[in-house]
Amino acid sequence: MLKTHTQSEWIARAEQVLPAGGFGNFEPGILIARGEGSRVWDEDGKEYVDYLIGSGPMLLGHGHPEVMEAVLEQLPKGMTFFANNSKGVELAEAIVGAVPCCEQVRFVASGGEADMYAIRLARAYTGKDKILKFEGGYHGMSAEAQMSLAPAKRVNFPQAVPDSAGILQGVVDQMLIAPYNDLEAVAALLAEYDNVAAIIVEPVQRIIPPAPGYLQGLRDLCDTHNVLLIFDEIVTGFRLSYGGAQERYGVTPDICTLGKIIGGGFPLAALGASAEIMQHFDKGKVGADKWLMQLGTLSGNPVAAAAGLKTMEILARAGAYDHLRDVGRKLQVMQSDALVKAGIAHQICGDETLFDIYFTDQSCCNYRSAAHDDPSRNARYNAVLREKGVFKSPGKLYPSMAVTQADLDLTHDAVQAAVAAINPD
């Protein structure tokens, strides 16, 4: 008989071999053993409705039968080749057909890589150095991205604050930081600095939506000042709509990055732009001085491409996004109704396809304003949800296509218990 281990035993083992006892992604106090559809189970066998969904990629749920069939068809043909393969070409064609800014794409293995290369590509194309990003914006783990993501101290804009040790001062000096949803601040910076290569922005910053006209305002400012606009659509791509945030909001960037959903749960990401911009990956066209070197062992591997292709095919079917938004809307309403009834100040922040609650009566429009009046209330709320079988991040809820009425009923009961737990009365 195979020996089984409890979750606490696995945690103890992890603490011996992993820094801080984890992979660095999610809290190490829970180990997920398996997932099926809308549910996951931890190593003790406790079952949860999954609103983390792997931090976004499992939009169809775990083990979708059509995706599994596509993967199992590919596996005996080969897992990776470090060479072009037809599945990768087909996936590139599908992305180009769906995403407005993409005439060509280049594959990588993670969203952080895609963002890193997008920044480098903007510098190669423009010949300029500085990058403008927004306080609180997440763009992976590169040195440029680790600027003012979650600064421990507040400084005056546009000063960048490194979020990690080991980042050179020279990188800090090339970054400009602005508050999200503030066009006047961006306009002032672009008027002052004439060597900005690009603005990189999450169209929905974490869960903070753009103010009406904000993304178009960024587009107009970039055009005026000859600056490239990069949309980080690692999260929003194929989630907000089939064509991503650029389709949803009707604003086309110069470069975009995609990840999570396009790999169908496997490691794969991409960056895309016009053929003119993307030619910097072609040494034969731009020459050695302007060539952007990029390679990766698993970039465009056929297993991930097969999973991504089938995922995209399913998402393109009639009614898919209507269903996803209906699920998200119901999750928003059930929480807001319960909190209103209890007299608890709150804001539902985000899009129906990704959102969460801030326990505050203040508008949440940027990193500094999107905060809980009492963080312990949020911690307690999420702890009770977890106890009652709802698995989510403390700061974001991802609806999925797999959520059923039974899941919504369970979630409703968990929300009622969580609201009761934080109700001061």
Q: What is the mean pLDDT of the chain?
A: 96
The conformational region for residue 16 under phi > 0 = left, psi -120 to 50 = alpha, else beta, is: alpha
Q: Could you tell me which of 363, 364, 362, 360 has the C-alpha nearest to residue 344?
A: 360
pLDDT confidence bin for 3, thresholds 50/70/90? low
237-248: buried (b, 16+ CB within 10 Å) or exposed (e) per residue? bbbbbbbbbbbb
The per-residue pLDDT for range 96-147, each reduced to its tens digit, is 999 999 999 999 999 999 999 999 999 999 999 999 999 999 999 999 999 9
Instruction: Provide the pairing of β-strand 32-36 with 39-42.
Output: antiparallel
pLDDT confidence bin for 5, thresholds 50/70/90? confident
Instruction: Provide the pairing of β-strand 104-108 with 130-134.
Output: unpaired
Is 138 among the residues known to form the active site? yes
Q: Who wins on pLDDT, 215 or 5?
A: 215
Residue 412 has pLDDT above 60, yes or no: yes
Catalytic residue among 138, 242, 321, 367: 138
What confidence score (pLDDT) does residue 4 get?
75
| Portion of the chain with pLDDT greater than 90, in percent | 97
What confidence score (pLDDT) does residue 153 get?
83
What is the pLDDT averaged over residues 220-226? 98
What confidence score (pLDDT) does residue 302 get?
98
Q: Could you tell me which of 323, 365, 423, 401 has the C-alpha nearest to residue 50?
A: 401
What pTM does this model have? Answer: 0.97
Catalytic residue among 260, 310, 388, 392: 260
Catalytic residue among 50, 232, 351, 356: 232
Is 283 among the residues known to form the active site? no
Q: Could you tell me which of 5, 2, 3, 74 has the C-alpha nearest to residue 44?
A: 5
The per-residue pLDDT for range 57-103, each reduced to its tens digit, is 999 999 999 999 999 999 999 999 999 999 999 999 999 999 999 99
What confidence score (pLDDT) does residue 152 get?
81
What confidence score (pLDDT) does residue 29 get?
94
φ/ψ of 63, rounded to 5, equals 65, 40
Distance in angstroms (rounded) separating the CA atoms of residues 257 and 277: 14
What is the pLDDT averaged over residues 235-264? 98
Is 232 among the residues known to form the active site? yes
What confidence score (pLDDT) does residue 76 get?
97
What is the pLDDT averaged over residues 315-338? 98
What is the pLDDT averaged over residues 178-206? 98
What is the pLDDT averaged over residues 339-350? 97
The per-residue pLDDT for range 393-409, each reduced to its tens digit, is 999 999 999 999 999 99
What confidence score (pLDDT) does residue 2 get?
60
**Domains by residue range for the chain, with CATH:** 65-315 (3.40.640.10)
Residue 173 has pLDDT above 60, yes or no: yes
What confidence score (pLDDT) does residue 362 get?
94
Residue 418 has pLDDT above 80, yes or no: yes
Residue 1 has pLDDT above 70, yes or no: no
Residue 49 has pLDDT above 60, yes or no: yes
What confidence score (pLDDT) does residue 169 get?
95
